[in-house]
Each structure stands twice: as structure tokens, then as C-alpha cells.
């Protein structure tokens, strides 16, 4: 039978939200989880709440930096003003010292891995006349990204009523960060040594995982944040069983006993890794729909995918819940030519649309004269009558 080709070879599909209620509890007050392969949100909790986000603010600091700096390996000098007041505020620092010559790449690593406030201040002071001017750049980027629940008042992430965001907005910022290859390389590094070799930064995520014996081998990187007002926050990147995830959690309990943000990340990731995955819902040999034909040798035109159709679904999904809807011509005729678009195939799971794809005719169709004349007897009868009359006249003439 004929084959149908689709515009895309493999379709990674995803339901917007899981059907069953998530069977887990987390300490975090807000969360949003993405399947990065599809760009879909697969779990959310109070994702649009305006909240303090602690050092997740530094993701925007990093994003502004790569927008302003052409060469991350250009050098800058750490100044006294970059370090003033940090110890008094009990802020975490990367360990840069007054007069030290570093690169912007070093500063970004110090900003994102150990979450150094000294790195944030050095970046702000070197890229703008003042921190206030740098903050304006941050808020301009907020407008550019069309973030509705975000405003920054400092580059470090200090608790302040005018420094706020939401789990969703942070997820947008984090995705922008991951689009930059230099930032992604830093974010996903377990450690980084500065250009002069004086400092080595290690991932706070991996450090906490080892210290508290939390097994999260699928987490490939991320950014932590902690303040009294924000609680424990984490933006992380994970990969398991061929699926790429991104998770933002905020507002986890801050009791200095356990890294509850990392525990929450493990809880969420484990649930989806263990209960969901990419499923082959239709093989390339499967007929997923049939279109009637007219005057052709075959009664139906079999619609088959050119490659396996793959969807991110629950492990216990029922194939009977997959439906196909064809929107297009009601029948295939000799008027249809090879490579003609004949319609669109829509794929549903439990009556929720997963995707749609164009359907094309790919092989020459076979006309059936027998079917044509059997369905158009009115054409045959006059021909038969004419033939009979013709024979009769010839016989009559012969007798004469």
C-alpha cells in the first residue's frame, strides 16, 4: 500500500499537563518543570507568584554581562569598591582580592558556581558607571523578555521589596542563559579554575549532593540561591533516558539542616523519570488513518508515518487513548498527484491535542477502469445500445 511522508521525521510530543495528580510532596512553595525537548511545562506550582529569588538574581546579572561584553577573556582589575560591605552583610564571595587581574569569564564562573557577590559587584562596576546603571540594564532585559512579574533592585539577590521575580520568569531567564554556550559551559561545570590559577570554583549543587549523600546524577548543572526571605532556591538542568529537563524551585524551607531545594529537585526529577518517558505511539509501519479512494484499485489509502512517532507520556498510558483525526480531502482520486498535500493529520491523547502534521501523496495511484464503469453504468448503457444498433444495421445490410 501507499506510504505517506510527513514534514518532520520524529515528533517529540508532550501533554501540557499530566492527567494524574502528582504523587509527591515538596518543601518548595513554587516550582516549574519543563521538558526542554518540547518546550512544554509538565509540572507547576504557584509558578506566577511574585517572590524574592535570592541569588537566582545572578542569572540575570550573567545574562546582561554576555550582552555587554564582546570578549569574555578580556581582563579587568578587582577594585576595593567591588568588595566593600560584602563581609558586613555576610554575603558569599568567590574569593577575589583587591588589585587582582581576572577575566570576565573568571567573574562569570565566580558568579554562577560559588555564587560570589564579589563577582556580581565587579561585573556591575565594570559594565556600567554604577550598580544603579547596571540594574537599569537588568530591568531593560526584563522588558525585552516580556517578564510580567520581575523587577530587580540589586545585582546580587539581596532581599528587597523591589527585587522580585517568579518561578516562571526565572525559568525564562534560565533558558536564555542556557542559549549562550559560554554561560551553559560554566553552569554545567563541576569546577572552574581562574585564568591565573589562584582560585578554583566548585558547583554548589554537586558539593551539597556529596555532603548530604543525595543521589542526583542526572542533574547536569544549575544555580542555587538562599536568603532568609527567599528560602532555598534552585534552577537546575537535568538529563535522563533521552529527555532533557529544566526545573526551577523557590521558597524551600531554610533551616540550615538539609538542602531542601536539592531534595525537592530530586523528588520531582525522580517522579517524572520513573513515571514518564518518550513512548513510541506509532511505528512507521503502522496505518494510523485510512482515506477512501474513488475509481482506484485500492479501496483505501493507508496513512503511515515515515518514521516512528514518539511522545512523552506516562509509562502506564493506554494506546487506546491515542486518537488520529484527518482534516483534508475526503477521498483520493486520479486528480491527486504525487507530492500533493492532501490534508493534515492531528494526534490526540485522551482528547488532548498532541501535535499535527501535513500529509502528502508520495506514490502514483492506480486507476481502475472496472470500478469506474461499474459505478457509472449510465455511461455503459448508451455504448451498449449503440453497439447493438450498429451490429443490427450491419446484419440487416448483409441480408440485403
Annotated binding site for substrate: 223
Sign, CA dihedral 67-73-78-83, equals positive
As annotated, the binding site includes 223
- State yes or no: is 189 an active-site residue: no
- State yes or no: is 191 an active-site residue: no
Other C-beta atoms within 10 Å of 249: how many? 30
Catalytic residue among 28, 55, 155, 236: 55
> Considering only CA atoms, which of 22, 26, 23 is closest in space to residue 264?
26
Largest CA distance in the chain: 131
Angle at the Cα of 119 from the Cα atoms of 78 and 143, rounded to 5 degrees: 125
Residue 248, C-beta contacts closer than 8 angstroms, at least 6 positions apart: 30, 31, 32, 56, 167, 168, 170, 171, 174, 233, 234, 235, 236
Q: What angle separates helix 117-127 from helix 131-144, to the nearest 10 degrees?
A: 90
User: Dihedral, CA atoms, 117, 122, 125, 130, nearest 10 degrees?
Assistant: 10
Catalytic residue among 115, 155, 165, 236: 115
- State yes or no: is 55 an active-site residue: yes
Query: What is the C-alpha separation between 50 and 4, in angstroms, rounded?
Result: 49
Reading the block at residue 254, the C-alpha cell is 531554610
Catalytic residue among 45, 47, 58, 304: 58
* Catalytic site positions: 55, 58, 115
Amino acid at each position: 500500500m501507499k506510504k505517506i511522508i510527513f514534514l518532520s521525521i520524529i515528533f517529540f510530543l508532550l501533554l501540557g499537563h499530566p492527567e494524574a495528580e502528582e504523587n509527591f510532596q515538596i518543601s518548595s512553595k513554587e516550582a516549574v518543570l519543563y521538558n526542554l525537548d518540547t518546550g512544554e511545562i509538565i509540572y507547576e506550582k504557584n509558578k506566577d507568584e511574585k517572590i524574592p529569588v535570592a541569588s537566582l538574581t545572578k542569572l540575570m546579572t550573567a545574562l546582561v554581562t554576555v550582552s555587554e561584553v564582546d570578549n569574555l577573556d578580556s581582563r579587568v582589575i578587582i577594585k576595593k569598591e567591588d568588595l566593600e560591605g560584602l563581609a558586613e552583610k555576610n554575603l558569599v564571595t568567590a574569593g577575589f582580592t583587591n588589585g587582582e587581574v581576572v577575566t570576565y569569564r573568571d567573574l562569570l564562573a565566580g558568579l554562577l558556581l560559588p555564587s560570589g557577590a564579589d563577582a556580581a559587584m565587579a561585573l556591575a562596576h565594570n559594565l556600567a558607571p554604577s550598580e544603579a546603571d547596571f540594574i537599569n540594564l537588568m530591568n531593560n532585559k526584563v522588558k525585552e523578555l516580556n517578564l510580567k512579574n520581575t523587577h530587580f533592585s540589586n545585582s546580587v539577590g539581596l532581599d528587597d521589596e523591589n527585587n522580585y521575580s517568579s518561578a516562571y520568569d526565572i525559568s525564562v531567564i534560565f533558558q536564555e542563559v542556557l542559549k549562550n554556550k559560554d554561560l551553559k559551559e560554566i553552569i554545567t561545570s563541576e569546577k572552574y579554575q581562574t585564568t591565573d590559577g589562584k582560585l578554583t570554583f566548585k558547583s554548589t549543587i554537586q558539593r551539597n549532593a556529596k555532603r548530604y549523600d543525595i543521589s542526583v546524577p542526572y542533574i547536569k548543572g544549575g544555580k542555587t540561591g538562599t536568603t532568609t526571605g527567599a528560602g532555598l532556591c534552585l534552577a537546575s538542568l537535568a538529563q535522563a533516558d533521552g529527555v532533557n529537563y529544566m526545573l526551577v524551585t523557590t521558597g524551600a524551607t531554610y533551616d540550615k539542616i538539609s538542602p531542601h531545594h536539592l531534595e525537592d529537585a530530586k523528588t520531582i526529577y525522580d517522579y517524572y523519570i520513573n513515571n514518564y518517558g518518550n513512548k513510541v505511539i506509532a511505528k512507521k509501519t503502522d496505518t494510523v488513518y485510512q482515506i477512501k479512494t474513488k475509481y482506484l484499485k485500492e479501496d483505501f489509502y493507508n496513512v503511515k508515518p515515515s518514521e516512528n512517532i514518539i511522545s512523552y507520556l506516562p509509562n502506564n498510558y493506554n494506546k487506546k487513548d491515542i486518537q488520529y483525526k484527518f482534516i483534508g480531502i475526503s477521498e483520493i482520486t486520479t486528480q491527486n498527484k504525487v507530492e500533493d498535500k492532501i490534508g493534515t493529520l492531528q494526534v490526540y491523547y485522551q482528547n488532548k491535542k498532541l501535535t499535527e502534521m501535513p500529509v502528502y501523496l508520495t506514490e502514483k495511484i492506480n486507476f481502475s477502469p472496472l470500478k469506474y464503469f461499474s459505478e457509472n453504468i449510465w455511461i455503459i448503457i448508451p455504448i451498449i445500445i449503440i453497439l447493438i444498433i450498429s451490429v443490427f444495421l450491419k446484419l440487416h445490410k448483409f441480408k440485403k
